[in-house]
Amino acid sequence: MSDHPSRYHHVLPEIVEQLASDKPFGAAKMQATRYSYADAMLELGERNPDVVVLDADVSKSMRTNDFAKRFPERSFNFGIAEQNMMAAAAGMATTGLIPFASTYAVFASLRALDQVRNSIHYPRLNVKIAASHSGITPGPDGVTHQGQEDLSLLRAIANSTVVAPADPVSAKLAVHAAAAYDGPVYLSFTRDPVPTIYSPDFPLRLGRAVVVRDGWDATIIALRDLVAHALVAAARLAEAGLEVRVIDCHTLKPLDVECVLRAAHETGAIVTAENNVIFGGLGSAVAEVLVENHPIPMQRIGVRDIFTESGPYLALLDKYGMSARHMAEAVRQVMARKRRA
């Protein structure tokens, strides 16, 4: 084996072992992180009587109906009325409740964005927005249900905290971290199952990116579902003798500037990877930090200026240039630019 297990941090050993194989996640426990959210809400509901869950007729799909069954008096289904749900959540938060407003990313970040901005973020009320179907993770549903730009939209709103956890373990931790934080948090979850890649010791702290693989030749900074694919890319590049750092940038905003700059200084070349448009999201955030502090070659992986389409989730990642092989190719390109510079 050409890869070094000791280079990985918080990644389950059985995952590390197979990363470079044909079926990198053959052994992984697969789960959609929307369900990790639902699980975490059950725990939170037990622990904190101020926690309430708001739905907009997708509680079956997000399994927040589990919370509704266990805590019926703290569960509110607004029907298909996302605007009302978001502004009502703000009103609830003024009384000390901690509302988790749950819907799909497209509806949270588009249909109700005015309420999200003016009623929640402007007065900085303690509302958590739980968005499933982020990125093009609801493959077969097609464009209208694919939150391909939600991270960019939420990052543009002042006072926002935007969190996009990579796997079921970190997703649950992110929910608890959001609940503990006083202020609005946008939580981005996947519709499709993603591999469980982390051990329970994953140190999720809002605003602190995590180096999940060491490396010195280049860095891939990824978030949400693309972290797993970044690990695969790194493992394959390791077989070719390249040591690539992988950073799980679960908190897109506030960005962990220190971690990004350390990677810039120590590896000299960066690839960003997000299942999100390449306008205004992770790639932009990292580019901003680089040009303002330490300009080095960088390349973005993400959805280009296009609406995608229906199809199986992984096939879409591949068709739209976001799979491990695209990341590996991008790493080679930024490294070539680094050498030329």
Ligand X SMILES: Cc1ncc(C[n+]2csc(CCOP(=O)(O)OP(=O)(O)O)c2C)c(N)n1
Q: How many residues bind other proteins (CB under 8 A)?
A: 55
Binding positions for other proteins, 84-103, rule CB under 8 A: 84, 86-97, 99
Catalytic annotation, residues: 82
Q: Write the binding mask 65 to 84 for ligand X: x where contact by CB under 6 A, - elsewhere.
A: ---------------x----
Q: Are strands 51-55 and 30-31 parallel, antiparallel or unpaired?
A: unpaired
For residue 241, the partner it binds in ligand X, its own copies, other proteins, none, with Cβ less than 5 to 8 A by kind, is none
- Distance (Å, rounded) from C-alpha 59 to C-alpha 260? 37
For residue 309, the partner it binds in ligand X, its own copies, other proteins, none, with Cβ less than 5 to 8 A by kind, is other proteins
57 binding ligand X? (CB under 6 A): yes
107 binding ligand X? (CB under 6 A): yes
Contact call for residues 64 and 102 (beta carbons, < 8 A):
yes
111 binding ligand X? (CB under 6 A): yes
Q: What are phi and psi of 245, to 5 degrees?
A: -75, 140
Helix runs in 80-225, H state only: 82-93, 105-106, 113-115, 150-155, 168-180
Could you write out the DSSP letters of every residue in 200-253? Answer: TT---BTTB-EEEE--SSEEEEE-TTHHHHHHHHHHHHHHTT--EEEEE--EEE
Residues that bind its own copies (CB under 8 A): 106-107, 110-111, 113-114, 117-118, 121-122, 143-144, 148-149, 152-153, 155-160, 253-254, 270, 277-281, 283-288, 290-292, 295-300, 303, 305-307, 341
- Using CB under 8 A, which of 9, 29, 176, 319 touches other proteins? 319
Six token digits for residue 33: 């992180």
Window contacting other proteins (CB under 8 A); options: 8-16, 76-84, 202-210, 212-220? 76-84
What are the beta bridge partners of residue 245? Answer: 219
What are the beta bridge partners of residue 244? Answer: 218
Q: Write the binding mask 294 to 313 for other proteins: x where contact by CB under 8 A, - elsewhere.
A: ---------------xxxx-
Rounded to a whole number of angstroms, the distance between the first and last alpha carbons of the chain is 33
141 binding other proteins? (CB under 8 A): yes
